[in-house]
Chain A
Amino acid sequence: MILLEHAPALAIAVPLLAALATPLVSKAGKRIRNLWVILSLAFAEFVVIMLGRDVLAGNVHVYSVGASVPSLTSTGGFPIRIILVADAMSALVSLAAMSIALLAAIYSWRFMEEHHSLGLDKFYTLLLLLAAGMMGLSLTGDFFTLFVFIEVVSISSAGLIAFFSSGESFEAAFKYMVISATGSLLLLFGIGLLYGKYGMLNMAAIANEVSMQHSFLDIAALSLMVSALLLKSGSVPVHMWKPDAYQEAPAQVVIMMLTITLLSLYVMFRICFSVFSLVLPVTMGWLIVILGAMSVFVGVTMAMPQRNLKRLIGYAAVAEIGYVMLGAGTGLIAMPNVSGFAMQALSGGIFHMINDVLDLSLMLLAAGTVFYITRQQDINEVGGLAHKSGYLAVLFMISMLAIAGMPPMGGFASKLMIYESVYYFNPLLSIIGILGSIMLLAIFVKIFASVFLGVPYKGSVRQVPKSMMFAMCVLAFFILFFGIFPNLALDLLITPAAEALINPQAYIGGVV
């Protein structure tokens, strides 16, 4: 029906329209504005679910923006307009991104109330712009639109980092802006190189051209883009901005920034797998795997001495990004004929992408609630909370076990797939991975003991509001669901996504 035909465009347009109208709607009052934000995100989630169902039924959903007939892509044998492509992989990623945005909006209903009554409509506008940017990032099939949406995402997340206007938050936001500005300028340089050679900007069209004749220029453009996107995803050489940014931003903005890092990883895999599949040097795969292993190692070792809970989660996020790169990198090494273990590694990497978002978000929301109910910012003063709010302790326990990759939780299935398959490529890497998750468990047990166990907490503790509890329970449900029925999630969501990533012909065929 009409909604499905325009689904990719609507997925971007609905949060954008809602963001533009929020200043208007917020004139009518706080509750109406909050409802407006949550309803628009829920409608966008509905559109993305419909898109996902249609795409999982087997066809690549193509939408050319502005053409008289949405599916009219290449008029003169090559695409002219901007084309949004939704195949299994991008549908999966946009589904994850939009559900996290919805949960963040629900969570921030009560969380932001007493913090900042003056500028809250700015907060919700930026939140919706961030959601629109994430949708654009995951659905676009055009290089320059990719650059524009990466800018939308990085500017609105910088604005959100600096929302609690304290000295450190401006510092963190400035550092984040410097790094993401240089990253996207390098990306634009790579896009310019590609446009200079092929005269076209569409990913599928260039992929078609690259498969015919390729030269040093493609390698140069590819390496520029991959380095820019690694910059954005906060892997090892440039991960300094992540702990600061995660420490300063409000909890639900940090969840959105988590999804942004995973989206930039998704875009890097899209470029490596679909566009440059034939010309991809093996060294690129090894580079990503080694960087992944290093970020696991650095993330975990740096997380040890941390006192601030959110900063610690920032380093844990660097480690989790390392796992995803470890998994998908091995898939990249055996690119032309991905079979057996490389396929398992790739689907393990993608599955871990989803699990990583879920458990780190649950951990962050739990941390935010701890600070909300005790009104303290530092975790040393907070102790023995288990007596006051048992549910929070259980949720924290679930997220802690999931991050460390314990059996009942979702993280276990994906990490096991990564360890098994990476072992065949290089045993040292999977050893680093296993060590990393053990140390993560040790760190979080220490945090759990200091925050929840011990002498009951003397200070006054507020009741955990319903909206926060609802958001956290939804996350806990999905973590447990992926943990107990991994095969259900695997063949429903992950393997079609992995297959879609593997054969670029389906991607190119849909467009050209």
Chain B
Amino acid sequence: MKEKTKAGTLLVLFAFLFVAVLSLHPFGRPTDTRMDDYLIQNGQLETGCNNIVTSVLFDYRALDTLGETTVLFAATCGIFAAFLGRKR
């Protein structure tokens, strides 16, 4: 019985995601690109690097990159603490 309920919920979720993705914009033609056009126009002037993705990563949204490096740092600490404890 448990298997069928799980399969049932997964099918419902599949239909839900399917319809949600269908109502998105067709692939290749994004509807609202104000933010990205601004970045492409002024990316070079404000941050001085040609690769706009790097300027987004390290200047416009630098807090995300900082959070992400702390995620990697926390994972390393977690792995080390787990293995270290075992030696006790």
Instruction: Give me the interface of A with B, judged by CB distance under 8 Å.
Output: 12, 16, 19-20, 65-66, 75-76, 78, 80-82, 116, 118-119, 122-123, 125-126, 129, 132-133, 136, 144-145, 148-149, 151-152, 155-156, 158-160, 162-165, 170, 173, 189, 193, 196-201, 215-217, 220-221, 223-224
Closest 4 CB pairs of A and B: A159-B78, A165-B85, A199-B32, A220-B20
Which of B23, B25, B30, B67: most chain A CB closer than 10 A?
A: B67
- Encoded as 1 (CB less than 8 Å from any A CB) or 0, chain B from 6 to 20 comes to 000000000011011
Q: Are A80 and B39 in contact (CB under 8 A)?
A: yes
For the complex, give the distance between the alpha carbons of A501 and B34 in Å. 28
For the complex, give the distance between the alpha carbons of A82 and B58 in Å. 12
In the bound complex, residues from chain A placing their C-beta under 8 Å from that of B82 are 159, 162-163, 165, 170, 173
Q: Are B20 and A155 in contact (CB under 8 A)?
A: no
For the complex, give the distance between the alpha carbons of A465 and B17 in Å. 54
In the bound complex, residues from chain B placing their C-beta under 8 Å from that of A66 are 59-60, 62-63
Is there a chain A Cβ closer than 8 Å to B45's Cβ?
A: no
Q: Are B74 and A152 in contact (CB under 8 A)?
A: yes
Return the contact of A152 from the options B59, B71, B80 (Cβ within 8 A). B71
Which of A20, A199, A223: most chain B CB closer than 10 A?
A: A199
For the complex, give the distance between the alpha carbons of A482 and B32 in Å. 48
For the complex, give the distance between the alpha carbons of A327 and B38 in Å. 43
In the bound complex, residues from chain B placing their C-beta under 8 Å from that of A116 are 85, 88
For the complex, give the distance between the alpha carbons of A156 and B81 in Å. 11
Q: Are A200 and B24 in contact (CB under 8 A)?
A: no
Nearest A residue to B32, CB-CB: A199
Q: Are A199 and B33 in contact (CB under 8 A)?
A: yes
Is there a chain A Cβ closer than 8 Å to B86's Cβ?
A: yes
Beyond contacts A118-B88, A122-B80, A199-B33: 5 other A-B pairs, Cβ-Cβ < 8 A, are: A75-B38, A118-B87, A145-B67, A148-B63, A159-B79
**Complex A-B: 15 CB contacts under 8 Å:** A76-B34, A81-B60, A122-B80, A126-B77, A126-B78, A129-B70, A133-B70, A148-B64, A151-B71, A155-B74, A156-B78, A193-B21, A200-B35, A215-B23, A216-B19
Nearest B residue to A224, CB-CB: B20
- Encoded as 1 (CB less than 8 Å from any A CB) or 0, chain B from 30 to 68 comes to 111111101100000000000000000001111110111
Q: Are B67 and A193 in contact (CB under 8 A)?
A: no
State which size class the interface on B falls in.
35 or more
Which of B32, B75, B80: most chain A CB closer than 10 A?
A: B32
In the bound complex, residues from chain B placing their C-beta under 8 Å from that of A156 are 74, 77-78
In the bound complex, residues from chain A placing their C-beta under 8 Å from that of B67 are 136, 145, 148-149, 151-152
Q: Are B64 and A145 in contact (CB under 8 A)?
A: yes
Q: Are B31 and A199 in contact (CB under 8 A)?
A: yes
In the bound complex, residues from chain B placing their C-beta under 8 Å from that of A215 are 23
In the bound complex, residues from chain B placing their C-beta under 8 Å from that of A123 are 81
In the bound complex, residues from chain A placing their C-beta under 8 Å from that of B34 are 76, 78, 199-200
Nearest B residue to A221, CB-CB: B20
Q: Are A144 and B59 in contact (CB under 8 A)?
A: no
In the bound complex, residues from chain A placing their C-beta under 8 Å from that of B77 are 122, 125-126, 129, 156, 159
